[in-house]
Amino acid sequence: MHPPQSRMLEGLKVVDLTSVIFGPYCTLTLADLGAEVTKVEVPTGDSSRMAGVTQRNPMMGPVYMSLNRGKRSVALDLKDEADLAVMRALLKDADIFIHNVRASAIDRLGLDYEAVKAINPRIIYLHCVGFGSDGPYGGLQAYDDVIQTASGMTSMQSLVDGDPRPRYVPSAIADKVAGLHAAYALLAAYIHRLKTGEGQFVEVAMFETFVHFLLQEHLFGLTFDPPTGPVGYFRQVDPDRQPFPTADGHIAIVPYNDDAWIKLFEMTGRPDVVRKPGLATPQERAANLGALYQILATLTPQRTSAEWFEALNAASIPATPARDLADIQQDPHLVATNFFRRREHAAVGPYFEMRPPVRFSRPGPDDQGVPPVLGQHTDEVRRELGLADAAAPAAACGDAS
């Protein structure tokens, strides 16, 4: 039997001056791995606390609940000298400082990198920004909608359906992608410090991060100079690449290689399809995927989604029924793996959280704390820092950004 494990990042101290999604998603990842994350909030709280609040859960909205488990909340007015002293004391003992305050505002507070480095030379200091500071957009404000638009993401649907209107993906996808990049950047900087003893400044820009994410496949023909074709990976922007209708719903079917296409049309009782002119060779089928998709869509209604799911997976053709987002908590796989955990919170009552999606063979205790109420740990942290007699934070203040 293995001896008891500590959590992987146990002992790593993170001071988190971020809000909304980008930074909190990063620090959630670290907290899930065992880091001690102290979330510093303005006295009015992270704005995500207010998204979806009800009388049952005032100041504890669902987005905040998802992103902030396992953290401590300290409410500080950083324009107040006594509270700023608490912040400096936190940073003196921290391994990581992460914030999303605009550079001009953080400079005015005296919490820029050079100032913090003077307090703690080994600090790893990460600035979450919208656009890289060395470009003409540096310093501009950015939210997910801005980054989706600036990156070209809002033009992607037009490549599929021909409708020229720019459209958002209905998800804070740029925020979350940037948050994951920030997490690995911090871990890389921490490993560097373990090797060298050196802290450093790290900048993670949503715009560059999301363009990097988006264009891994979609730069496509523009990869070469001169270009060999248009932007956009043709398979993913094919308008006929959609879930297929079934007798009782829709199903995703991914015949990714030519042998799978042949097998699939045999299963539908139409082996003749792959002998038709223009579809008779692997090269012709690869060049005319849209035609194959169109024909397949006329054949899939002959079975239910469940029948197709069973038959296709038995044939080693990837497939899954289309599920409504509102039903995802009832997905049998997620139920079996206890992905959605029902927990109790003293302030809001029962709620569901999602388990971390990464599994380790030696994970350590699975004991994430619940999301903190605003300022829940302020007095505790002041006592730990020997500042218990410092003035209490103001009742309300504006954001430092």
- 129 and 19 within one domain: yes
Quick one: pLDDT at residue 389?
67
Quick one: pLDDT at residue 395?
38
Please check whether residue 168 lies inside any domain of the structure. Answer: yes
Q: Are 175 and 22 in contact (CB under 8 A)?
A: yes
Please check whether residue 126 lies inside any domain of the structure. Answer: yes
- 94 and 70 within one domain: yes
Please check whether residue 329 lies inside any domain of the structure. Answer: no
Quick one: pLDDT at residue 4?
60
- 194 and 253 within one domain: no
- 70 and 26 within one domain: yes
292, 321, 350 - which closes a domain: 321
Please check whether residue 53 lies inside any domain of the structure. Answer: yes
- 66 and 39 within one domain: yes
Domain CATH code at residue 274: 3.30.1540.10
Please check whether residue 79 lies inside any domain of the structure. Answer: yes
- 296 and 186 within one domain: no
Neighbours of 92 (CB within 10 A): 12
Quick one: pLDDT at residue 382?
97
Please check whether residue 389 lies inside any domain of the structure. Answer: no
Closest by CA to 48, choosing from 37, 38, 58, 63, is: 63
Q: Which range of residues forms the domain containing residue 75?
A: 13-214+336-384
Quick one: pLDDT at residue 399?
38
- Residue 268 vs residues 244, 307, 311, 316: alpha-carbon distances, Å: 13, 12, 11, 15
Residue ranges of the chain with pLDDT lower than 50? 1, 393-401
Quick one: pLDDT at residue 214?
98
**What's the length of the chain?**
401
- What distance in Å separates the CA atoms of residue 138 and residue 145, rounded to the nearest whole number? 17
Please check whether residue 256 lies inside any domain of the structure. Answer: yes
Please check whether residue 374 lies inside any domain of the structure. Answer: yes
**Which structure tokens are listed for 187?**
């871990």
- 196 and 262 within one domain: no
3-state secondary structure the chain: CCCCCCCCCCCCEEEEECCCCHHHHHHHHHHHCCCEEEEEECCCCCHHHHCCCCCCCCCCCHHHHHHCCCEEEEECCCCCHHHHHHHHHHHHCCCEEEECCCHHHHHHCCCCHHHHHHHCCCCEEEEEECCCCCCCCCCCCCCHHHHHHHHCHHHHHHHHHCCCCCCCCCCCHHHHHHHHHHHHHHHHHHHHHHHHCCCEEEEEEHHHHHHHHHHHHHCHHHHCCCCCCCCCCHHHHCCCCCCEECCCCEEEECCCCHHHHHHHHHHCCCHHHHHCCCCCCHHHHHHCHHHHHHHHHHHHHHCCHHHHHHHHHHCCCCEEECCCHHHHHHCHHHHHCCCEEEEEECCCEEEEEECCCCCCCCCCCCCCCCCCCCCCCHHHHHHHCCCCCCCCCCCCCCCCC
Residue carrying the six token digits 């029948």 = 307
- 359 and 292 within one domain: no
Number of domains in the chain: 2
- Counting Cα atoms < 13 Å in the Cβ hemisphere of 360 gives 12
- 76 and 142 within one domain: yes
- What distance in Å separates the CA atoms of residue 96 and residue 23, rounded to the nearest whole number? 13
- 171 and 293 within one domain: no
Quick one: pLDDT at residue 3?
59
321, 355, 375 - which closes a domain: 321
- 359 and 297 within one domain: no
- 106 and 36 within one domain: yes
Bin 214: left if φ > 0, else alpha if -120 < ψ < 50, else beta.
Answer: alpha
Quick one: pLDDT at residue 362?
85
Quick one: pLDDT at residue 393?
45
Domain CATH code at residue 372: 3.40.50.10540
